[in-house]
Amino acid sequence: RGLAEGDLATVITRTGRATVRVRLDDRLRDGVAAIPFGSPGLNRLTDDADRDPLSGIPALAQVPCEVTKKEPQ
């Protein structure tokens, strides 16, 4: 995807988008993105209505997303 350490990237889900700073981590599988809890804009990426049927807890992990390099404005 042409992303390098320190780049700004846009993360897009079906509910929103957020800009994040890229940090590469070879412990993650290809195609996996991880954003730490508490990151700015994280809540825009998840859907509060998408809840686990047993616990009622919102799905905060395993959210399909697209990550693209944010071009300078």
Question: For residues 45 and 63, is the Cβ–Cβ distance under 8 A?
Answer: yes
pLDDT of 1: 72
Mean pLDDT of 2-25: 94
Q: How confident is the model at residue 18 (pLDDT cuts 50, 70, 90)?
A: very high
pLDDT, tens digit (0-9, with 9 covering 90-100), for 19-35: 999 999 999 999 999 99
Tell whether the torsion through CA atoms of 30, 1, 38 and 54 is positive or negative: negative
Mean pLDDT of 56-65: 84
Mean pLDDT score across all residues of the chain: 90
